Amino acid sequence: MLIEENKPLAPFTTFQIGGPARWFAQATSEEEIAEATAWAAERSVPLFVLGGGSNLLVSDAGFNGLVLRVALRGITALPAAKQLEPLKAAGEVKAAGEVKGAGFSPYANQAEATRALAPEGGSSEASTVRPSSSTGSGAAAASDQPGQRIYRVAAGEDWEHFVQRAVDDACAGVECLAGIPGTVGGTPVQNVGAYGQEVASAIERVRAFDLRERAFVEFSAAECGFSYRRSRFNSADRGCYAVTRVDYRLTRGGAPTIRYADLQRALAARQAEGRELSLAEVAEVVRGLRQSKGMLLVEGDPDCRSAGSFFKNPVVGEEQLQRIAAVSQKAPPRFPAGPQPENLDRVKIPAAWLIEKAGFTKGYRLGAAAVSSRHTLALVNLGDCGGSGGHDERRGASAAEILALAGKIIAAVEARFGLHLEMEPVMVGF
């Protein structure tokens, strides 16, 4: 495995911000993940596991340790009834979440493992589709259980590619998550969600490398501890695991999820025609909504140099909701907080609404850092967009400027509403 030194990290992030990694490696197999993490452990070097770089802010000083980029690729369709067979074939199935031996394989044999995680351009059989194909022909070859299908997806696979694959296969469950940048491995970490869907509702199993025990482990969805934008991987067990694979259980021939208000409005005219909407139609409308808010990666679009939503939507109780309404003299928009027991009698308030009511308009800037011109929930790196004043915008925003702007927004929202906004991106090197 190649270990590079002083590797610039900004090109690996959608923010296009940050200093270099002292050391950098890219893993295309589980064996290389074990090798790279061992290299760091032997030298007592800090380790950061990098995925698609779409939800992080790297410090201007960079990261004084090893950045390991997970680049495992491959999508395999499995009949839902066969989900546990590879585990049984590999040996004794231990309690879910229990550490397996380092030699444990989630596949029935080495041939299946090679096919499932083969890099783009490698040989394949019909049941495996690599990033270069989105025809759905691979899934058609699988002996499907009516109504459901399991997709076993390597962590380095592009998330948008997998969503398109599922839509092409007429498998419902992730269509509202179209257009989200990043890789599959990051989706269970953040419990990625948008437009009325969360990956928690589709995830069947997560496979990861335990950095403490140096062994591969598997977690059921229930053991991942999912809640709004949270999982065990970014809370209690932050920094303890490197996700290598995610299994999704989707519904073949299922109807699209249309429960989010913006999406309902965008689809109202089509629904009025009285016909059933396809997954492809819904995914395309979602992408359009994301683009209108600067949340779709489009080359040359300055609003795309961001980490997407920079703040989490606060979840509040009735008392807090009434206090916010009294201060603003208007009831804030609200959405269901989720089905978890802790969200009983609680609602979600759009952070964008709070930010605007605290005095920050679209396009507000601080140096080369700014609030997106299309959505107040996103902070952007203006880069070479021009402007006046002493700041040299051509060099782009610094991480310090982004955090200064975020801090100003947080302080203003807290001063007016008594509510502390939580930043969503992962902070690296601070």
d(CA 385, CA 387): 7
How distant is the alpha carbon of residue 285 from its chain centre?
A: 20
CA angle 115, 12, 427 (to 5 degrees): 110
DSSP state of 167: H
The answer to whether residue 125 is catalytic is: no
Which residues, at least 6 apart from 287, have a Cβ–Cβ distance to it below 8 Å?
Answer: 178, 179, 296
Which residues, at least 6 apart from 255, have a Cβ–Cβ distance to it below 8 Å?
Answer: 172, 276
The CB density around residue 246, as the number of other CB atoms within 10 Å, is 28
Place of tokens 């915008």: 393
Strand 241-252, strand 203-210: pairing: antiparallel
The answer to whether residue 5 is catalytic is: no
Catalytic residue among 32, 160, 198, 424: 424
Q: What are phi and psi of 313, to 5 degrees?
A: -70, 120
Strand 315-317, strand 75-79: pairing: unpaired
Which residues, at least 6 apart from 268, have a Cβ–Cβ distance to it below 8 Å?
Answer: none
The answer to whether residue 416 is catalytic is: no
Catalytic residue among 124, 306, 309, 373: 309
The CB density around residue 391, as the number of other CB atoms within 10 Å, is 16
Query: How many CA atoms lie less than 13 Å away from 3 in the CB half-sphere?
Result: 15
If you count them, how many residues does the chain have?
A: 430
d(CA 416, CA 3): 49
Please say whether the beta carbons of 428 and 57 come within 8 A.
yes
Helix axes 261-272, 279-292, angle to 10 degrees: 130
- Nearest CA to 17 out of 25, 8, 26 is that of 8
Catalytic residue among 165, 229, 232, 290: 229
Residues identified as active-site: 229, 309, 424
